[in-house]
Amino acid sequence: MSIQRAVKSATKVAAHASRQINAVVVSSGLMEKTVKVRIGTQVWNQHLQKKFNATTHLLVHDPNSSLKTGDVISISRAGELRKQFIMSYPLSLHPLALPSRSDLQFQPRKNE
């Protein structure tokens, strides 16, 4: 009997586990605490019997407004508080770090 309970509890935990999806921030700073992200999907073409790459855009809740355009984040489903906001990000995978002008080293041109 205890094995059956363990299996049932494991299936309940697995049912509530959320899937992690990698996404790229496309637009940030235009909406308060919200960013627009792009995720890659595949679409099946019935006529050609082939999958093609497609993109989908989603709105993601950003509580600290810390994300910038170009950041790669991992998102998961947070529940439908509103129809638009269905995702939240638990961690940022690759923040886009652009060098500042002072970090760049310029070489003077040689007159030829």
Second CATH level (architecture) for the domain 19-94: Beta Barrel (2.40)
pTM for the model stands at 0.60
In the chain, domain spans: 19-94
CB under 8 Å to 40, separation ≥6 — which residues?
53, 54, 55, 56
- Is there a contact between 89 and 30 (Cβ–Cβ < 8 Å)? no
Amino acid code (one letter) for 97: A
- Is there a contact between 39 and 22 (Cβ–Cβ < 8 Å)? yes
CB under 8 Å to 70, separation ≥6 — which residues?
24, 25, 96
* Tens-digit pLDDT profile for residues 81-106: 555 555 566 566 666 555 554 554 55
Band the pLDDT of 42: cuts 50, 70, 90: very high
